[in-house]
């Protein structure tokens, strides 16, 4: 009886403090930092399944809103049936009315996005009509970009008229070609809308608004949880066993096991309060990875979620370089941590080599899915690929950092030289090597003679450049790949096929472009050094992120002349041009400028849901590639020509991988190679 009284008094005091039972009493007994973490975790959790319920709510809201409010597939038009034209996604029906009696017309077409391209024959319209009954030809036209139409007199091959027009998806249009008698006998070409198109971008807009609404709701919930009264009310509803579990998991977390000192390691490499993991890095990696999964699954079949045909940027062109960039940051942070734990450089070199080898092997397996196409033919194996490039890039950058690794200064505020350029000066051997690599890229790109092609050619070939160099796709980059690897071992359907009708194989993950991916990864290393060299100095970190963002942005401006096609070195994902690297690296520093204070300094955002796939990036990437054609990532659509249905399918598939990553994170299952 006497022993029960102190325990009862302790519980009563805990309730008076708003703790809510024995679980909180245990939390009060924990160290101060652990107690604060457990209280925050308990306040956010509310119930064990809250995170799962929120994810399910987001997924259901996105799918239902898109299904109920978005337009469907191709509408049933009488004109389509009459002219026997079956419209597909991103197409419209164009009826060309030739009122020029006795004059046959040849109609040529091209996309406004196709730079300096030969016009392609669209349709021929005879001039055998009668007054009041013109000859009519029906044809499907693209609606992704503006169209350039040129009508020529077939017999004289002279231009009759030329116009530019942006057609809408599943719309019906008439192009009227007739004489205009206004004192001068002229020919007019006018476009008339017979039936209005659908708004194909409405599903994306709805999905975006739903996402914004969920973000606002979560922010409001976090605000409520920051209020003491509401937080105390939530805390009282938490099971004491759940609190005990959180305390134990925090104190026994593997991430804390490596923070203890080790007197046997070299003095220079003893830990100096180095953060083992920055949430902004994993969050950034998760953002790039989730965008990559969504894009690879189709992105709702929208053109801006596909790779550019040649020069320029789309959403799909952003994700891979950002993944490379953040890989560079992770290389430096993890390598520093491993060396501080006493691992020898020779042993670490073995780990680097083995991991690079595994990445390359897994990549070759993924890009050759012959289990669906029959037995693998070694004569047709594609050698380059995303993971292959990551493996080579990782090996070069990691070995470079390992060779010249130095202990991180205790505090840069104690040394004057640290005030400005210590993170750069300490890496001068690496920078020298990177500049030599970039010089090799520039020399090969602009001075290597390519048979049948102009030296320094950066174009797509095909019908580009007025069809002068049809087999010169990629210039030196394409030539080196075809020479060293062979046409059959390269990607056979590059994005340049879409607009430029290229005929030669070209691989966007080829040999020459790997040089610039190494450069981009090293810029990521620089970001990691800023985070580590100036730890706990938020202002200095943000100043350096801003400086790098502006510096790389100015380099891009100089290379491109703020033009998509007219610059010295255009931004080009297929080539991985240096302007592409500087532009995307500038964006990456800007994103870290936003994420670091929001996620790691102020704690305004935990990084969810992107943080979870960022912690299991290899598993999510390999899994989404291998199980691409399996349910629930893909199923038979009711209307295969509907952006809405494709968007729903791709959003669901991406959300499932986020959910898988969340579950694996909670189970502490991580796939590392």
Per-position b or e across 252-283, b if 16+ CB within 10 A of its CB = eeeeeeeeeeeeeeeeebebeeeebebbbbbb
Three-state DSSP at 191 gives strand
- The percentage of the chain sitting over the pLDDT mark of 70, rounded to a whole number, equals 77
Residue 300: cis peptide before it, omega within 30 degrees of 0: no
Euclidean distance between CA atoms 257 and 323, whole angstroms = 28
**Cβ atoms within 10 Å, residue 660:** 17
- In this structure, the chain runs to a length of 673
Cα 571 → chain centroid:
16
Least confident of 254-263, 285-294, 467-476, 611-620: 254-263
Three-state DSSP at 409 gives coil
**DSSP β-ladder status, 91-98 and 172-181:** parallel
Residue 408, CB half-sphere, CA atoms under 13 Å: how many? 24
pLDDT at 656 exceeding the cut of 80:
yes
Euclidean distance between CA atoms 258 and 342, whole angstroms = 11
Say which residue, 278 or 446, is predicted with more confidence. 446
Q: Which span out of 38-47, 115-124, 417-426 was modeled with the highest average pLDDT?
A: 115-124
At 73 the pLDDT is 53
Q: Where are the alpha helices (DSSP H) in 237-309?
A: 240-251, 254-257, 279-296
- Phi and psi for 261 in degrees, rounded to 5? -70, 160
Fold for domain 91-195? Immunoglobulin-like (2.60.40)
- pLDDT band for position 369 (50/70/90)? confident
User: Do 588 and 325 form a contact (C-beta atoms < 8 A)?
Assistant: yes
Three-state DSSP at 608 gives coil
Least confident of 17-26, 77-86, 129-138, 368-377: 17-26
Adjacent-strand bridge partners of 141: 92
The mean of the pLDDT values for the chain is 81
Which two tokens mark 466?
């007025």
**Cβ atoms within 10 Å, residue 157:** 8
At 268 the pLDDT is 44
> Rounded to the nearest 10 degrees, how much is the dihedral formed by the CA atoms of 48, 52, 57, 58?
130
User: Which H or E run includes 430?
Assistant: helix 428-447
Kindly list the distances between the CA atom of residue 261 and the CA atoms of 10, 324, 327, 342, in Å, as whole numbers in the listed order. 36, 32, 27, 10
- Would you list the DSSP string of 540-575? HHHHHHHHHHHHHHHHHHHHHTT-SSSSSS--BTTT
Adjacent-strand bridge partners of 308: none
- The percent helix, strand, coil of the chain (3-state, each to 5) is 55, 10, 35
Residues of the chain with CATH 2.60.40: 91-195
Three-state DSSP at 124 gives strand
Three-state DSSP at 460 gives coil
Which two tokens mark 573?
């994902």
- pLDDT tens digits, one per residue of 115-137: 999 999 999 998 877 777 888 89
Euclidean distance between CA atoms 576 and 396, whole angstroms = 17
Q: Is 624 part of the annotated catalytic residue set? A: no
Q: What's the whole-number mean pLDDT along residues 40-62?
A: 45
- pLDDT tens digits, one per residue of 545-598: 999 999 999 999 999 999 999 999 999 999 999 999 999 999 999 999 999 999
Given strand 158-165, what is the order of strands in its sheet? 120-125, 105-111, 147-153, 158-165
- pLDDT tens digits, one per residue of 401-417: 999 988 776 655 444 44
User: Do 410 and 418 form a contact (C-beta atoms < 8 A)?
Assistant: no
Given strand 135-142, what is the order of strands in its sheet? 135-142, 91-98, 172-181, 185-195
Cα-Cα end-to-end distance for the chain: 57
Q: Kindly tell me the burial class for residue 86, based on how many C-beta atoms sit within 10 Å of its own C-beta (0-12, 13-18, 19 or more).
A: exposed
Euclidean distance between CA atoms 332 and 564, whole angstroms = 34
Nearest to 446 by CA among 313, 561, 575, 566: 575
At 127 the pLDDT is 82
Which two tokens mark 106?
């040849």
At 35 the pLDDT is 38
Which residue is catalytic, options 97, 307, 501, 643? Answer: 307
- pLDDT tens digits, one per residue of 491-511: 988 999 989 999 899 999 999
At 242 the pLDDT is 54
pLDDT at 357 exceeding the cut of 80:
yes
> Rounded to the nearest 10 degrees, how much is the dihedral formed by the CA atoms of 582, 585, 590, 595?
180
**Cβ atoms within 10 Å, residue 474:** 32
Euclidean distance between CA atoms 196 and 71, whole angstroms = 13
Which two tokens mark 5?
């009284």
- pLDDT tens digits, one per residue of 181-217: 765 668 889 999 999 999 989 888 888 888 888 877 8
Nearby residues of 39 by Cβ (< 8 Å), 6 or more positions away: 27, 235
- pLDDT band for position 420 (50/70/90)? low
User: Which H or E run includes 103?
Assistant: none
Q: What's the whole-number mean pLDDT along residues 159-171?
A: 92
Nearby residues of 587 by Cβ (< 8 Å), 6 or more positions away: 318, 322
Euclidean distance between CA atoms 623 and 617, whole angstroms = 10
pLDDT at 436 exceeding the cut of 70:
yes
At 11 the pLDDT is 44
Euclidean distance between CA atoms 391 and 361, whole angstroms = 9
pLDDT at 7 exceeding the cut of 80:
no
Euclidean distance between CA atoms 651 and 640, whole angstroms = 16
Euclidean distance between CA atoms 168 and 93, whole angstroms = 10
Kindly list the distances between the CA atom of residue 469 and the CA atoms of 482, 496, 569, in Å, as whole numbers in the listed order. 16, 14, 19
């Amino acid at each position: 009886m006497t022993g029960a009284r102190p325990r009862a008094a302790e519980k009563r005091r805990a309730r008076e403090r708003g703790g809510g039972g024995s679980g909180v009493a245990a939390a009060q007994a924990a160290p101060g930092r652990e107690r604060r973490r457990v209280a925050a975790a308990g306040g956010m959790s509310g119930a064990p399944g809250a995170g799962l319920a929120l994810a399910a709510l987001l997924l259901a809201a996105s799918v239902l809103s898109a299904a109920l409010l978005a337009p469907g597939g191709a509408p049933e038009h009488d004109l389509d049936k009459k002219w026997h034209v079956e419209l597909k996604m991103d197409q419209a029906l164009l009826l060309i009315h030739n009122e020029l009696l006795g004059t046959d017309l040849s109609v040529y077409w091209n996309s406004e996005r196709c730079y300096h391209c030969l016009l392609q024959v669209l349709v021929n319209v005879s001039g055998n009509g009668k007054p009041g009954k013109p000859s009519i030809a029906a044809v499907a036209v693209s609606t992704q970009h503006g169209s350039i139409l040129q009508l020529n007199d077939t017999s004289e091959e002279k231009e009759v008229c030329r116009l530019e027009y942006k057609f809408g998806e599943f719309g019906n249009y008439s192009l009227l070609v007739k004489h205009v008698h206004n004192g001068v006998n002229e020919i007019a070409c006018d476009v008339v809308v017979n039936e209005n198109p659908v708004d194909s971008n409405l599903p994306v807009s709805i999905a975006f608004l739903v996402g914004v609404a969920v973000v606002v709701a979560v922010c409001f919930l976090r605000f409520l949880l920051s209020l003491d009264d509401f937080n105390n009310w939530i805390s009282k509803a938490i099971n004491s066993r759940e609190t005990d579990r959180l305390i134990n998991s925090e104190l026994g977390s593997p991430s804390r096991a490596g923070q203890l000192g080790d007197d046997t390691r070299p003095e220079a490499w003893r830990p100096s309060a180095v953060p083992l993991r920055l949430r902004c890095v994993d969050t950034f990696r998760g953002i790039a990875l989730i965008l990559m999964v969504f894009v690879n699954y189709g992105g709702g079949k929208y053109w801006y979620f596909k790779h550019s045909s040649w020069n320029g940027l789309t959403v799909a062109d952003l994700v891979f370089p950002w993944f490379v960039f953040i890989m560079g940051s992770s290389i430096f942070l993890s390598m520093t941590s491993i060396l501080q734990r006493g691992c020898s450089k020779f042993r670490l070199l073995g780990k680097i080599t083995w991991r690079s080898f595994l990445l390359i092997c897994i990549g070759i397996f993924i890009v050759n899915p012959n289990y669906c196409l029959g037995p693998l033919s070694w004569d047709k194996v594609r050698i380059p690929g995303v993971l292959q490039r990551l493996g080579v890039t990782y090996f070069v950058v990691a070995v470079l950092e390992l060779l010249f690794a130095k202990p991180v200064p205790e505090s840069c505020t104690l040394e004057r030289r640290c005030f400005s350029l210590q993170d750069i000066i300490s890496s001068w051997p690496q920078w020298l090597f990177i500049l030599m690599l970039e010089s090799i890229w520039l020399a090969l790109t602009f001075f290597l003679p390519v048979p049948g092609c102009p030296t320094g050619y950066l174009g797509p070939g095909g019908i580009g450049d007025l069809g002068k160099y049809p087999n010169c796709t990629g210039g030196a980059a394409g030539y080196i790949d075809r020479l060293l690897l062979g046409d059959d071992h390269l990607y056979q359907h590059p994005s340049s096929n879409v607009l430029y009708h290229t005929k030669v194989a070209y691989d966007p993950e080829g040999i020459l472009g790997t040089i610039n991916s190494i450069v981009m990864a090293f810029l990521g290393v620089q970001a990691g050094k800023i985070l580590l060299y100036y730890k706990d100095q938020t202002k200095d970190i943000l100043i350096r992120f801003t400086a790098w963002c502006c510096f790389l942005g100015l380099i891009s401006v100089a290379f491109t002349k703020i033009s998509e096609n007219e610059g010295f070195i255009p931004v080009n994902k297929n080539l991985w041009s240096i302007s592409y690297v500087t532009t995307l690296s500038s964006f990456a520093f800007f994103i870290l400028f936003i994420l670091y204070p929001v996620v790691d300094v102020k704690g305004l955002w935990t990084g969810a849901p992107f943080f979870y796939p960022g912690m299991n990036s290899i598993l999510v990437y390999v899994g989404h590639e291998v199980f691409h054609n399996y349910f629930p990532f893909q199923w038979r659509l009711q209307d295969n020509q509907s952006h809405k249905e494709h968007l729903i399918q791709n959003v669901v598939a991406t959300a499932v991988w986020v959910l898988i990553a969340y579950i694996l994170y909670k189970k502490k299952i991580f796939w590392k190679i």
